[in-house]
Amino acid sequence: MQVRGLLIGLAVLALLGGGVYWSNKSKEEESKAPPKDASPKVLTITEQEVAQLEFRKKGMPPTIVKHTGEGKWAITEPKALAADPDAISDVMRALVNFSSETVSTPGPGIDLNSFGLKEPLFTLNIVKKDGKQMAVLIGDSVPVAGSVFVKMDNDARVFTVSAVNRTTLDKQWRDLRDKRLLTIENDKLSRVELDANGKVIEFGKNQSNEWQILKPSPFRADTWGVDELVRKLKEVKLDPSTPEADMEKAEKAFSSDTPVAVVKLTDASGTQQLDIRKTKDKEPVYYAKSSAVEGVHKVLADLATSASKSVTDFRSKKLFDFGFTDPTKLEIKSGGRSKSCGKNGEKWICDNKEVKPETVSAFVDKIRDLSAKQFVENPVKPETAPDIEITVASDPKKNPETVRIYGNNGARGDEPAMYAIDPATVDGITQAFVAIKEPDKPAPPADTKKK
């Protein structure tokens, strides 16, 4: 009897366990399913299915955009142009998430004209990669503000959707074109050339992928400054809302405008050029003509200012390049004293003696921030010994850096340039050098013997 009772108990437990399992599974499936009262999606499609989009608006030539592979799109009608990937992504996102607010099936006596859908002002034809087609018809605004009537060409139902969808989908070639005036990719950029104020500045990348000034003379470049210039050039875009008449007027006047700068960007695919000019007005307006995009387009004065800077503006004023990399070796000479220091784990050893690491860190911070106030014109290096000489090793792939300071002027290695340094900065380096000390010796134990 006991065995029989045990078997019955196990069977009941199994049934209860199964019931709990199926109950949980049912709840999980219900949580994934849309609410029963939710309005259906206008269409179901993924971006990967779409091969072509045709934007058709009454009274205007159609705009046709084709998928060219690798996530890229091209405008083929009414003219051949590169498409703006961000603009196409906005359209695709709206289609993929095209949900309705309400849905109804008009009766046989209701004319689609009442919704503006019999001959809609705007239609978006979608051609799928399998050859199948569908069309989104966008009709009139709903009497209740903020919505529009929408219908699929192969569906009897009429939907209401947020008017935002009409704004997103109702596009023409001007809205969808690539609006960049220069289309070279930043990560492939190898040369930048500025021709402004009668002088040419050329930048190139070194083996460490850092910008260097090549012309008018080899100088270290302020990498941040060059990158900032490139960023502004890459972000300059045309305004698709500019009236055609204004564009034609600007193009006719461009040849007589005052030249500001000519910029050239080069990568493996070639060189693109941007010619920047300004009008002769009291408050000039700036325009640019690109070799990559047709037409003349208005640009910001800030771009013109950046493109017409002098070579001095782009030179690096920092005397050391090790940046935030911690040095591993230091050779320091100052005031007849010298120290040879190396890092061992978290310890610093100077002249075979351990020193306080915080005192070396304070010195490193001083030389890391060592910058010039300005550059010395027509520099001539003194033949006398420098007041301070510092050699820093920080990267095994790079040669050590040496800076020599003569009075309040500094020089890097064998570079001909001289840097004017603030006297207070020089004093701070000298004091930090003197402050490099050994750890405090522990106090001798107290004499506990009684006299």
Distance separating alpha carbons of residues 75 and 63, to the nearest angstrom: 7
Please determine, for residue 422, whether its predicted confidence score (pLDDT) is greater than 90: yes
Predicted model pTM: 0.73
Alpha helix positions (H), 338-437: 357-368, 423-434
pLDDT score of 2 more than 50: no
pLDDT of residue 13: 37
| pLDDT attached to residue 23 | 46
Looking at residue 28, its pLDDT comes to 52
Reported confidence tier of residue 38, pLDDT bands at 50, 70, 90: low
Per-residue pLDDT, 6: 37
393: tokens are 């090793």
**Residues 339, 287 share a domain:** no
Is 152 within a domain? yes
Query: 128 and 195 in one domain?
Result: no
Q: Could you read off the pLDDT of 156-199 as tens digits, one per residue?
A: 889 988 999 999 999 999 899 999 999 887 778 999 999 999 99
Residue range 296-334, pLDDT digits in tens: 999 999 999 999 999 999 999 999 999 888 899 999 999
Answer whether residue 215 shows pLDDT above 60.
Answer: yes
For residue 293, is pLDDT > 80?
Answer: yes
The whole-number average pLDDT for the span 352-360 is 94
72 or 262, greater pLDDT: 262
What's the N-to-C CA distance of the chain in angstroms?
Answer: 95
For residue 103, the domain's CATH number is 2.60.40
Cross-strand bridge partners of residue 69: 72
pLDDT of residue 447: 64
Work out the pLDDT band at 34, boundaries 50, 70, 90. very low
Question: Is 225 found in the same domain as 344?
Answer: no
> What type of residue is 340?
S
Within a domain: 298: yes
Domain's final residue, options 154, 176, 198: 176
Q: Nearest-CA neighbor of 83 among 71, 100, 101, 99?
A: 71
119 and 207 fall within a common domain: no
DSSP state of 48: G
With 60 as the cut, is the pLDDT of residue 360 above it?
Answer: yes
Tell me the pLDDT tens digit for each residue of 369-396. Answer: 999 999 998 888 788 899 999 999 998 8
* Co-location of 334 and 310 in the same domain: no
Q: How far from 42 is each of 92, 93, 159, 204, CA to CA, in Å?
A: 14, 13, 7, 53
Same domain (yes/no): 231, 114: no
Q: Where are the alpha helices (DSSP H) in 267-356?
A: 301-307, 311-314
| Residues 254 and 221 occupy one common structural domain | yes
Mean pLDDT within 408-433: 93
Per-residue confidence (pLDDT) for residue 400, from 0 to 100: 94
Tell which residue, 192, 220, 226, 230, has the closest CA to residue 212: 220
Give a yes or no: residue 36 inside a domain. Answer: no
- Which residues partner with 367 through β-bridges? none
Higher pLDDT, 13 or 225: 225
- As a whole number of angstroms, the distance between CA 192 and CA 277 comes to 19
Same domain, 167 and 240: no
Q: Which domain holds residue 281?
A: 186-314
Same domain as 367, residue 277: no
Identify the pLDDT of residue 193: 97
Partners of 143 in the β-ladder: none
Which of 92-96, 113-117, 337-341 shows the lowest mean pLDDT across its residues? 113-117
With a pLDDT cut of 70, the percent of the chain lying above it is: 89
Cβ neighbours of residue 263 closer than 8 Å, sequence gap 6 or more: 192, 193, 194, 195, 233, 273, 274, 276, 307
Summary mean pLDDT of the chain: 86
Does some domain include residue 28?
no
Q: Is the pLDDT of residue 4 over 50?
A: no
Residue, of 233 and 34, whose pLDDT is higher? 233
Res. 406: pLDDT tops 90: yes
* Residue 439 domain-assigned (yes or no): no
Q: What is the mean pLDDT of residues 209-216?
A: 92
Interhelix angle 357-368/423-434, rounded to 10 degrees, is 160
pLDDT (tens digit, 9 = 90+) per residue, 8-32? 343 333 433 444 444 454 445 444 4
Mean pLDDT, residues 416-435: 94
Can you read off the two tokens belonging to residue 138?
């966008």
Residues 323, 368: contact at Cβ < 8 Å? yes
CATH assignment of the domain containing 412? 3.30.1490
My answer on whether 281 and 402 are in the same domain is no
- End residue of a domain, out of 279, 314, 349: 314
Please say which residue of 130, 146, 176 terminates a domain: 176
- pLDDT tens digits, one per residue of 117-156: 988 999 999 999 999 999 999 999 988 778 999 999 988 8
3-state helix, strand, coil in the chain (%, to 5): 25, 35, 40
Note whether 228 and 297 are same-domain residues. Answer: yes
4 in a structural domain: no
The count of C-alpha atoms lying within 13 angstroms of the C-alpha of 174, restricted to the half-sphere facing its C-beta, is 11
Q: Is residue 269 part of a domain?
A: yes
Closest among 91, 48, 59, 56 to 77, alpha carbons compared: 56
Domain count, the chain: 3
Same domain for 283 and 380, yes or no, is no
The rounded distance, in Å, linking the Cα atoms of 412 and 375 is 12
For residue 401, being part of any structural domain is answered with yes
Task: Give me the mean pLDDT over the 291-295 stretch.
Answer: 89
pLDDT at 98 > cutoff 70: yes
pLDDT at residue 411 in the model: 94
